[in-house]
Structure 1
Amino acid sequence: MSETYLCTGQLPDHYQQLVKSVADFATSVVAPVAAKHYAEHTFPYEVVAGMGQMGLFGLPFPEDCGGMGGDYFALCLALEELAKVDQSTAITLEAGVSLGAMPVFRFGTEEQKQRWLPELTAGRAIAGFGLTEPGAGSDAGATATTARLDGGEWVIDGAKQFITNSGTDITSLVTVTAVTGKRDGGRKEISTILVPAGTPGFTVESAYDKVGWNSSDTHPLTFDGVRVPEANLLGERGRGYANFLRILDEGRIAIAALATGAAQGCVDESVKYARERVTFGRPIADNQAIAFQIARMEARAHTARAAYYDAAALMLSGKPFKKAAAIAKLVASEAAMDNARDATQIHGGYGFMNDYPVARHYRDSKILEIGEGTTQVQLMLIAREAGL
């Protein structure tokens, strides 16, 4: 990917073909079942299987890992198209790749990669990342879950919460951050450990009753004397927190792409509704107040897209991208929330009905300002990168 695409607005053919194929899938496969899964709080296994068959879970991974040989920007383009129609589906893919498979790819041993990645990149299995705890959210350094070595095994005790893709029938493992000792000066040594699903003592608690993302799988997890082999350490001991920050930096670009899709989906639905809805003998699109409101929505989506394109271009070129990723996440998540509010208002009473996509976007979009780094965290990162 070249940064010149940002200036020309032209993507190479292989990216354009990907966008078209995912958009067609979103329209023909995701959209018809999204409302039903959302209302019933059910995980869309048939949709996930379809995404797996398309290779979407393997987009940014090399072919020798079972991937498609693409890049992270390709994943972002797919997420944008899916999120226009259904955020629950998009976050299932985003978390499955950036939080599930990516840590294994980035930091795993060859044995770990060979064991886990083929199924994860094919979408036949998904994985979660257990970072957040009841007392450790934005302050991940407050991690209380512990892991100690005993007879060649890690013994894990603790709890995690808000963990995506952690309790489905195809969940294969969860990567867990845990305190494995202390550094000089008394600071916590935090490492990451792979815990396969079904390991004795590893309990997936009942799913959350959430405001939105109803067909995305999210659970609290508990670990009571969970034993896994010492070889399940992911990456270097004591580098768990640092490695996770790298994963989060990348993931913010993906979340920004998802949020951009949500923002654009609100625009598209509002344009359609404004053309069709007739009041006082004419379409409401003829009202300048409505037209200007939609114009502002379009401007927000455009700005969000430019921001995540820029962050992705920096990342793929090997340049520092932390600030750009934080800006993209900040701008895109706020665009999604603002556009969802405006789209609901444009739809009037229909916007309050869950049968309409804008109602789901209104319920779904708030978490985009919280998950994978709150708005306040993004502002803190941007300020630091600016030298403050």
Structure 2
Amino acid sequence: MSDIHKTDAPIVHRPIFADSTSLTLPTLRILQEDGHLYPDAELPDIDQTLALKIYDTFLFIRALDERMLASQRQGRISFYMTETGEEAADIGSTAALKDNDMIMAQYREQGALAFRGFTPDQFMNQIFSNEKDLGKGRQMPIHYGSHKLHYMTVSSPLATQLPQATGYAYALKAQSKPNCVICYFGEGAASEGDFHAALNMAGVYKVPVIFFCRNNGYAISTPSKEQFAGDGIAPRGVAYGLKTIRVDGNDVLAVLKATQEARKLAVEQHQPVLIEAMTYRLGAHSSSDDPSGYRNKEEEDVWRIKCPVTRMKRWLILQGWWDEEQDETLKQQHRQTVVDAMKKGEKVSPPALDDLFTDVYDSLPWNLEEQKAALEEHIRRYPESYKKSSWRFGHE
């Protein structure tokens, strides 16, 4: 075989066809559903402080999701997406990173942002698109972003963050920075062309990126069996030359362990990694979705037993680091914190209309100047439609 072909495959003299059974990856699981460890399990690097921070973030996200979904139903916000049932995936993996590693999220990773220190007020400012929103009210709810916390702003189009993650990781490598990128996406996004371009480029150029697939079984209403015929998403990583591992996405210790090892590979060896976390979305895809149309309660009940929050709580109690009284107290504290932040955030004025035109060009081109003048004239012509004091130009 010529050395121009990058393969060490043996030579055979009769046809052998590979199929999906040729590569079936195992699933890493450390924590049992009752809170005990598997006898031969290897723990991640975790102490009481880190464990309680992870669990605290779990409970905050549960409180945030519960209150915001109710607020959408009340008409107080326009849109929301919960991550109920998937908390171990993004929070557990983020806990394995350095604070200045870049996070590129899809749209269901508010837990990663909360773990990094995004405050309840900041969540509400973004969700209500008020003048304190870091994005200046230009994005729909849950499209968070924070330069300070190294969390790239969420983008609505599916899978665009994947090639961006490879490019960002290439820059880290070129600058010899000791950091990596983690890029979250669902198994549905793996059907987009961006997925294949991103993984292929990462594999070829050996960049420090961790692709983290949350395989929750559904691309909105389409079950996995109707999305692909292979053994999940993980074998695709092997095909593109990435180190690949599959984990129980509801086992926070398995997620933490896998990501800690993945970061070492990415940063120390410039070896890209694909992690496939097998999990389940207990809630709807979004506040616009009704999951009863494509799955049944019996299926959901099976996965409720596997709840990552309950599983971790049981482990914490067995460690002597937690108890039921503390649990209930913290739940109530987070609920009150979220409610207080929500009431505060919805009273803040929307951004000034100037912000519709700024931050694209150093100085406004003539066409945007004309559009801005036309908008000002429109508001002056129809003042009754714009009674709110928030409809104003400038930040006076």
Greater relative contact order structure (CA < 8 Å, 6+ sep)? 2
Range into which the TM-score falls when normalised by the shorter chain:
under 0.3
User: Rg: which structure is higher?
Assistant: 2
More strand by share: 1
More helix by share: 1
- Under a length normalisation based on structure 2, what TM-score does the superposition of the two structures give? 0.22
